[in-house]
């Protein structure tokens, strides 16, 4: 039997620093010091930045709640599997333009957590023989869901590579049997200022005339690349990414890929899309990714790719015509002056 007689100078068990704490001592001291220095600078305007990382902290209205996504069954579309690197899921979920929830890039993640996607109703109407209404279950079960890795290029000159889940828009439009007079497709986002804070306040929502509208030519809409997405990274969409159903048109700037769609209308006139209405000299109807046509205020020749890593890992890459989908879509624009019809 070991009899331990404690000397006065021996440390008690309770006085010994836990090994893990010991190992982290530098970062703990650093965090404490910076917290002390920086607390006076933390203003409510910056709260969004902090909530990103302290998930459920802010209890005000509907901010800070993480939306629960569920797993989806899907097939891999073998034509669209070779893209790398893929943007980390966290960055796809936390860096969004969705002014319905606020104009800050982190606002949609922060304020969309309690957005209701079920029940949902998506209507396909206009110049069709059979108008259709799909509910939430229809969206997830009526079509074969496939995974496609697509490039996403924002008009603000940043890009991501995203593993979307969804089905081609063509299969849905076919179900509705378009009339021969149908030439264009108009898309409309949900209008619900109670749930979408930016729609209720022009200060929060960037002064946009809601609901958000987008449009495609019918031949663009039924191109096999055009996707109606219901998920990403193996799960259903989060509201900040356009849940429960959004458009993905990978050869056009991101703003064409309208989110949280409630109505798809076939028409004979070109719809005026929201950004075109706001600034017709800066944003056109087509908005095809084109390194040779600058935005009037900035270059579109290259882009910042959002991938792994932090500040010092930023990579710039050359922007490709039609975002790299030239082979699939260039034929759609034969004879069209792309500098004029931007």
State which residue, 208 or 218, has the beta carbon closest to other proteins: 208
What is the C-alpha separation between 321 and 250, in angstroms, rounded? 11
Q: Which of 28, 29, 32, 49 binds other proteins (CB under 8 A)?
A: 49
Smallest distance, Å, CB 208 to other proteins?
Answer: 8
**165 burial via Cβ count (<10 Å: 0-12, 13-18, 19+):** buried
State which residue, 155 or 228, has the beta carbon closest to other proteins: 155
* DSSP 8-state assignment for residue 71: B
Between strands 302-305 and 158-168, the pairing is parallel
State which residue, 83 or 157, has the beta carbon closest to other proteins: 157
Say how many Å lie between the first and final Cα of the chain, rounded.
Answer: 87
Structure tokens at 95: 């860096």
Structure tokens at 120: 């949902």
Smallest distance, Å, CB 158 to other proteins?
Answer: 6
Binding range to other proteins, per CB under 8 A, among 9-17, 18-26, 88-96, 242-250:
88-96
- Gyration radius from the chain CA atoms: 24
Binders of other proteins: how many residues, by CB under 8 A? Answer: 35
* Beta carbons of 85 and 91 less than 8 angstroms apart: no
State which residue, 17 or 54, has the beta carbon closest to other proteins: 54
Q: Is there binding between residue 186 and other proteins (CB under 8 A)?
A: no
Q: Which of 62, 114, 132, 206 binds other proteins (CB under 8 A)?
A: 206
Binding range to other proteins, per CB under 8 A, among 124-132, 178-186, 263-271, 309-317:
309-317
Smallest distance, Å, CB 264 to other proteins?
Answer: 26
Q: Which of 311, 318, 327, 339 binds other proteins (CB under 8 A)?
A: 311
> Residue 35, SS3?
helix
Per-residue CA distances from 240 to 107, 170, 205, 269, 274 (Å): 9, 25, 14, 30, 18
Binding range to other proteins, per CB under 8 A, among 101-109, 145-153, 171-179, 320-328:
101-109
Q: Which of 26, 269, 297, 334 binds other proteins (CB under 8 A)?
A: 297
Give residues with Cβ within 8 angstroms of 212, minimum separation 6: 99, 100, 188, 189, 258, 259, 274
Smallest distance, Å, CB 63 to other proteins?
Answer: 16
Q: Is there binding between residue 21 and other proteins (CB under 8 A)?
A: no
Q: Which of 22, 34, 191, 341 binds other proteins (CB under 8 A)?
A: 34
State which residue, 120 or 275, has the beta carbon closest to other proteins: 275
What strands lie across the sheet with 184-189, from one edge to the other? Answer: 132-135, 121-126, 261-267, 184-189, 213-217
Q: Which of 40, 44, 119, 335 binds other proteins (CB under 8 A)?
A: 40
What is the C-alpha separation between 251 and 80, in angstroms, rounded? 14
Per-residue CA distances from 37 to 27, 31, 40, 331 (Å): 15, 10, 7, 59
Q: Is there binding between residue 38 and other proteins (CB under 8 A)?
A: yes
Smallest distance, Å, CB 122 to other proteins?
Answer: 27
Q: Which of 117, 155, 172, 264 binds other proteins (CB under 8 A)?
A: 155
State which residue, 25 or 203, has the beta carbon closest to other proteins: 203
What is the C-alpha separation between 161 and 82, in angstroms, rounded? 11
Task: List interacting residues with other proteins (CB under 8 A).
Answer: 30, 34, 37-38, 40-41, 49-50, 52-53, 91, 94-95, 99, 103-106, 155-156, 158, 203, 206-207, 278, 297-299, 304, 306, 310-312, 314, 316
């Amino acid at each position: 039997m070991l009899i331990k007689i404690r000397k006065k100078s021996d440390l008690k068990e309770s006085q010994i620093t836990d090994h893990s704490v010991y190992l982290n001592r530098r970062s703990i001291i650093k965090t404490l010091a910076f917290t002390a220095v920086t607390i006076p600078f933390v203003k409510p305007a910056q709260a969004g930045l902090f909530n990103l990382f302290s998930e459920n902290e802010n209890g005000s209205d509907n901010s800070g709640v993480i939306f629960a996504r569920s797993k989806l069954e899907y097939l891999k579309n073998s034509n669209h599997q070779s893209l790398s690197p893929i943007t980390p899921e966290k960055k796809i979920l936390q860096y969004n333009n969705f002014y319905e929830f606020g104009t800050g890039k982190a606002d949609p993640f922060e304020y969309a957590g309690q957005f209701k996607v079920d029940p949902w109703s998506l209507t396909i109407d206009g110049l069709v023989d059979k108008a259709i209404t799909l509910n939430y279950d229809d969206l997830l079960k009526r079509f074969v869901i496939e995974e496609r890795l697509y490039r996403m290029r924002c008009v603000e000159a940043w890009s991501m590579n995203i593993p979307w889940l969804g089905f081609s828009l063509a299969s849905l439009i076919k179900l509705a049997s378009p009339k021969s007079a149908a030439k264009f497709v108009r898309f409309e986002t949900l209008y619900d200022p109670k749930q979408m804070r930016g729609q209720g306040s022009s200060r929060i929502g960037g002064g946009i005339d809601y609901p958000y509208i987008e449009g495609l030519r019918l031949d663009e809409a039924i191109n096999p690349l055009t996707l109606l997405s219901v998920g990403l990274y193996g799960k259903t969409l989060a509201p900040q990414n356009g849940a429960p159903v959004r458009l993905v048109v990978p050869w056009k700037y991101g703003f064409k890929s309208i989110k949280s769609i409630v109505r798809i209308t076939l028409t004979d006139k070109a719809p005026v899309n929201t950004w075109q209405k706001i600034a017709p000299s800066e944003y056109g109807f087509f908005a095809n990714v084109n390194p040779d046509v600058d935005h009037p205020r900035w270059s579109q020749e290259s882009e910042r790719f959002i991938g792994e890593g932090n500040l010092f890992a930023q990579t710039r890459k050359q922007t490709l015509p039609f975002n790299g989908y030239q082979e699939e879509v260039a034929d759609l624009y034969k004879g069209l002056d792309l500098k004029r019809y931007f």
